[in-house]
Structure 1
Amino acid sequence: MLPTISQHSNGSLGSRDAARHTAGAKRYKYLRRLLHFRQMDFEFAAWQMLYLFTSPQRVYRNFHYRKQTKDQWARDDPAFLVLLSIWLCGKFGVIMMMFQYMGILETLKLLLWVVFIDCIGVGLLISTLMWVISNKYLLKHPSREFDVEWGYAFDVHLNAFYPLLVILHFLQLFFINHLMMIKSDWFVGYFVGNTLWLIAISYYLYITFLGYNALPFLKNTVVLLYPFAPLALLYILSISLGWNFTQGLCWFYKYRVQ
């Protein structure tokens, strides 16, 4: 005769299992792994960074697999965040080469701005906004069982932010440092610079759309592609009026450290 589990025992197991999957438990597990580098899968995180450029759909298929195996959509491994932090430090080094006149105080101010405002502050703001919008307006059947995890919203932002970071804060700054024409008032300069902005923001919007479209309990995720229309209009307008977004970026960081 097969052993049986009483209704009371089953409920107790369900309660303990639910407790292990609360937002607090997931957050604790994630933060704890930040202190154990040997437990992080940096090779897999690097693979994700590569495929965010070549095939972002494959990255989100992995998120779906994690949901099936670990009962959560969000990453439980902070390796991607650690590698992104390294990229941010690299970005900071490039900016340092551009603004060689900076002293110790200016250098520290720029570093704090890049880490706590550009990365963490903006990321928390956008993630929270998308988390609220998706749970309030995009759920097919609103319930506690099917909702968007805040951690997943933050992961989607990180996925979309990484290509934007590489294009605007590495590729573009490299051209600024070696081809000063890109931040000049010449047509070719602001055409190339603004085109890089268009590509970067388009990448961000598209990867964000893929992230929420991958969730089977969301509807009307195509609305996340609507910003492409005003983005294209803004790009055409900037070229027509000679607005140089790259020049504005340089001025912005210059006055941040003064």
Structure 2
Amino acid sequence: MAILPLTSPSYPNHNTGPSAPVSVSNRIPLIFRRLHRFQQMDFEVALWQLSYLCLAPKRVYRNVYYHKQTKNTWARDDPAILILLFGCLFVAAMAWSFVYSYSFLAAVKLAFVMILRDFLLVGVISATLLRLFANRVLLSPSSHSSSTDTSVEWAYAFDVHTNAFFPLYLTLYIAQLFLLPIISKDKWVCLLVGNTLYLAGFAQYIYGVYLGLSALPFLIRAEILLSPLLPLFASYVVSLLGFNIANHVLQVYFAS
């Protein structure tokens, strides 16, 4: 079974037959194939989505029904939100590089690490695992008879990662930067602030993943996706005994 989806059948000249030839480019989600088409991107909508991912994330997923009806795909095909996230990560990399007195080349390298590893690589792994898990565990029994229209697309699973990543970005890439003078101190109150920050960041990501998949009408038992919150909170409680998560993560992340 292919990991990446084929182009949506709503597009012209798309052969959906079982023996249809599949080119390498058609295995790449449409959102990535359109990254160079800046003139076709709707940055206003992308900014609206990023804003509501923090204020009212459920409103963002109401649009997937409209997109399914008009484009015959649950996933977004406009890469504007990716460009904005790339820009946000680049700005964060420059800010962190200034704090750690990095050279310009080191700052650019950090930006590529944040974009390619933290966002894209983690997103590819997360989307692949989410798609496999959702299609094998969360599909309602009546959905198996029409898997073409009622299965989680890889591109949609990557959308879910993208949407869930932005609140985490604001918490761990931006808020942590401003709180660095506090969380870096060797005091229990500072440890509490830093560890709570990481709890909030990853809890937001888990909740965002849950919202994204629970929005699909053919999935059931989506509450299972909230189960990682239990070990996350348990680890947080244990860490309050003296393990400063922020200090350890930053030492590994910015190790020279």
Pairwise TM-score range, normalised by the shorter structure: 0.7 to 0.9
Instruction: From 172, 175, 187, give the equivalent of 1:171.
Output: 175
Q: Show the counterpart of 1:156.
A: 160
Structure 1 residues without counterparts, runs of 5 or longer: 1-12
Q: Which has the higher helix share?
A: 1
Determine the C-alpha separation between the residues in 2 that align with 1:65 and 1:42: 18
- With normalisation by structure 1, the TM-score equals 0.85
Q: Show the counterpart of 2:207.
A: 206
Determine the C-alpha separation between the residues in 2 that align with 1:88 and 1:104: 15
Q: Show the counterpart of 1:34.
A: 35
2:195/2:244 contact within 8 Å kept: yes
2:93/2:107 contact within 8 Å kept: no
Aligned residues: 238
Partner SS state of residue 73, structure 1: coil
Change (3 A) 1:109 1:29: closer
Q: Show the counterpart of 2:130.
A: 130
Determine the C-alpha separation between the residues in 1 that align with 2:15 and 2:29: 12
Q: How does 1:1-258 map to 2 (within 5 A)?
A: 19=15, 25=26, 27=28, 29-100=30-101, 102-103=102-103, 106-140=106-140, 141-142=143-144, 143-176=147-180, 180-239=181-240, 241-255=241-255, 258=256
Determine the C-alpha separation between the residues in 2 that align with 1:172 and 1:192: 10
- Percent identity between the two aligned chains: 40
Post-superposition offset of 1:245: 1.2
Determine the C-alpha separation between the residues in 1 that align with 2:11 and 2:204: 41
1:19/1:25 contact within 8 Å kept: no
Post-superposition offset of 1:39: 1.0
Partner SS state of residue 145, structure 1: coil
Deviations 1:109-129 (A, max 9, x none): 423322221111111111111
Post-superposition offset of 1:250: 1.5
Deviations 1:157-190 (A, max 9, x none): 00001110111010111221xxx23112201111
Post-superposition offset of 1:199: 1.1
Post-superposition offset of 1:36: 2.1
* Deviating 4+ runs (over 4 angstroms): 13-18, 22-29
The letter of the residue matching 1:131 is: R
Determine the C-alpha separation between the residues in 1 that align with 2:11 and 2:168: 42
Determine the C-alpha separation between the residues in 1 that align with 2:15 and 2:156: 19
Post-superposition offset of 1:31: 3.8
Determine the C-alpha separation between the residues in 1 that align with 2:151 and 2:11: 19
Higher Cα radius of gyration: 1
Determine the C-alpha separation between the residues in 1 that align with 2:104 and 2:10: 55
Q: Show the counterpart of 2:6.
A: none
Post-superposition offset of 1:244: 1.1
